[in-house]
Amino acid sequence: MKRLLKLVWFWAPLLTVNLTPALGPAADKADPKALFEARCSMCHPLSRPLEKKKTAAEWRETVTRMKGLSGGKISDAEAETVIKYLSETRGK
Ligand code: HEC
Protein backbone atom coordinates (compact mmCIF):
# COMPACT_ATOMS: atom_id res chain seq x y z
CA MET A 1 0.00 0.00 0.00
CA LYS A 2 2.77 2.40 0.92
CA ARG A 3 4.49 1.57 -2.31
CA LEU A 4 1.36 2.27 -4.29
CA LEU A 5 1.00 5.64 -2.60
CA LYS A 6 4.57 6.48 -3.50
CA LEU A 7 3.83 5.60 -7.08
CA VAL A 8 0.77 7.84 -7.14
CA TRP A 9 2.79 10.74 -5.75
CA PHE A 10 5.47 10.19 -8.29
CA TRP A 11 3.03 10.46 -11.18
CA ALA A 12 0.81 13.17 -9.71
CA PRO A 13 2.79 16.11 -11.17
CA LEU A 14 2.55 14.58 -14.62
CA LEU A 15 -1.21 14.32 -14.32
CA THR A 16 -1.38 17.93 -13.20
CA VAL A 17 0.62 19.02 -16.21
CA ASN A 18 -1.72 17.16 -18.52
CA LEU A 19 -4.77 18.72 -16.94
CA THR A 20 -3.37 22.24 -17.04
CA PRO A 21 -4.94 24.26 -19.81
CA ALA A 22 -2.68 24.87 -22.78
CA LEU A 23 -0.03 27.49 -22.17
CA GLY A 24 -0.05 29.16 -25.52
CA PRO A 25 -2.32 29.83 -28.45
CA ALA A 26 -3.36 26.90 -30.60
CA ALA A 27 -1.50 24.48 -28.35
CA ASP A 28 -3.83 21.61 -29.04
CA LYS A 29 -1.96 18.65 -27.64
CA ALA A 30 -3.95 16.24 -29.75
CA ASP A 31 -2.54 17.91 -32.85
CA PRO A 32 1.27 17.67 -33.07
CA LYS A 33 1.39 20.10 -36.00
CA ALA A 34 -0.50 22.80 -34.06
CA LEU A 35 1.70 22.22 -31.02
CA PHE A 36 4.83 22.49 -33.15
CA GLU A 37 3.56 25.69 -34.76
CA ALA A 38 2.66 27.25 -31.43
CA ARG A 39 5.85 26.36 -29.56
CA CYS A 40 8.42 26.69 -32.29
CA SER A 41 7.35 30.11 -33.58
CA MET A 42 7.81 31.88 -30.26
CA CYS A 43 11.37 33.07 -30.95
CA HIS A 44 11.98 32.62 -34.68
CA PRO A 45 9.84 31.97 -37.73
CA LEU A 46 8.77 28.40 -38.36
CA SER A 47 10.98 28.47 -41.44
CA ARG A 48 13.93 28.00 -39.09
CA PRO A 49 13.04 24.37 -38.33
CA LEU A 50 11.13 23.84 -41.59
CA GLU A 51 14.12 24.57 -43.78
CA LYS A 52 16.02 21.74 -42.09
CA LYS A 53 16.00 17.99 -42.37
CA LYS A 54 17.48 16.08 -39.48
CA THR A 55 17.63 12.54 -38.18
CA ALA A 56 15.48 11.70 -35.15
CA ALA A 57 18.59 11.97 -32.95
CA GLU A 58 19.42 15.40 -34.37
CA TRP A 59 15.87 16.66 -33.85
CA ARG A 60 16.04 15.40 -30.28
CA GLU A 61 19.20 17.40 -29.77
CA THR A 62 17.77 20.57 -31.34
CA VAL A 63 14.37 20.43 -29.64
CA THR A 64 16.01 19.71 -26.29
CA ARG A 65 18.21 22.78 -26.79
CA MET A 66 15.16 24.90 -27.72
CA LYS A 67 13.31 23.60 -24.67
CA GLY A 68 16.23 24.80 -22.54
CA LEU A 69 16.16 28.21 -24.18
CA SER A 70 12.41 28.56 -23.69
CA GLY A 71 12.64 28.89 -19.91
CA GLY A 72 9.89 26.37 -19.18
CA LYS A 73 7.49 27.31 -21.99
CA ILE A 74 8.01 23.91 -23.60
CA SER A 75 7.25 20.93 -21.36
CA ASP A 76 8.95 17.52 -21.53
CA ALA A 77 5.83 15.97 -23.02
CA GLU A 78 5.51 18.72 -25.60
CA ALA A 79 9.16 18.34 -26.57
CA GLU A 80 8.56 14.59 -27.12
CA THR A 81 5.55 15.32 -29.33
CA VAL A 82 7.49 17.86 -31.41
CA ILE A 83 10.52 15.55 -31.72
CA LYS A 84 8.27 12.79 -33.04
CA TYR A 85 6.44 15.15 -35.39
CA LEU A 86 9.64 16.65 -36.85
CA SER A 87 11.36 13.27 -37.15
CA GLU A 88 8.40 12.03 -39.17
CA THR A 89 7.83 15.09 -41.36
CA ARG A 90 11.34 16.60 -41.56
CA GLY A 91 13.42 13.47 -41.14
CA LYS A 92 16.39 12.37 -43.18
C1 HEC B 1 13.08 30.58 -26.42
C2 HEC B 1 13.21 30.86 -27.82
C3 HEC B 1 13.14 29.67 -28.79
C4 HEC B 1 12.14 28.75 -28.92
C5 HEC B 1 10.86 28.64 -28.11
C6 HEC B 1 12.52 27.89 -30.01
N7 HEC B 1 13.72 28.29 -30.53
FE8 HEC B 1 14.72 27.45 -32.08
N9 HEC B 1 16.21 28.80 -31.89
C10 HEC B 1 16.29 29.78 -30.91
C11 HEC B 1 17.56 30.46 -31.02
C12 HEC B 1 18.03 31.60 -30.11
C13 HEC B 1 18.25 29.88 -32.10
C14 HEC B 1 19.66 30.19 -32.62
C15 HEC B 1 20.72 29.67 -31.66
C16 HEC B 1 20.84 28.18 -31.63
O17 HEC B 1 20.80 27.51 -32.68
O18 HEC B 1 20.96 27.62 -30.52
C19 HEC B 1 17.37 28.85 -32.63
C20 HEC B 1 17.68 28.06 -33.72
C21 HEC B 1 16.89 27.04 -34.21
C22 HEC B 1 17.25 26.17 -35.32
C23 HEC B 1 18.51 26.29 -36.20
C24 HEC B 1 19.69 25.66 -35.52
C25 HEC B 1 19.72 24.16 -35.68
O26 HEC B 1 20.16 23.49 -34.73
O27 HEC B 1 19.34 23.60 -36.73
C28 HEC B 1 16.26 25.26 -35.44
C29 HEC B 1 16.15 24.13 -36.45
C30 HEC B 1 15.28 25.54 -34.39
N31 HEC B 1 15.70 26.63 -33.67
C32 HEC B 1 14.13 24.80 -34.17
C33 HEC B 1 13.22 25.04 -33.16
C34 HEC B 1 12.11 24.15 -32.84
C35 HEC B 1 11.79 22.86 -33.58
C36 HEC B 1 11.44 24.71 -31.79
C37 HEC B 1 10.23 24.17 -31.07
C38 HEC B 1 10.45 22.97 -30.30
C39 HEC B 1 12.15 25.95 -31.44
N40 HEC B 1 13.22 26.08 -32.28
C41 HEC B 1 11.77 26.80 -30.42
C42 HEC B 1 15.31 30.07 -30.00
C43 HEC B 1 14.14 29.37 -29.80
Q: Is the CB of 35 under 6 A from ligand 1?
A: no
Q: What is the pLDDT of residues 32-56, one digit of tens each?
A: 999 999 999 999 999 999 999 999 9
CA torsion through residues 44, 47, 51, 54, sign: positive
Q: What is the pLDDT of residue 26?
A: 47
Rounded-to-integer distance, Cα 27 and Cα 34, Å: 6
**Which of the listed residues 37, 43, 46, 88 should we mutate to test ligand 1's pocket, taking the one with most ligand atoms within 8 A of CB?**
43
Average pLDDT, the chain: 83
Q: What is the pLDDT of residue 30?
A: 75
Q: Does position 9 have pLDDT exceeding 90, yes or no?
A: no
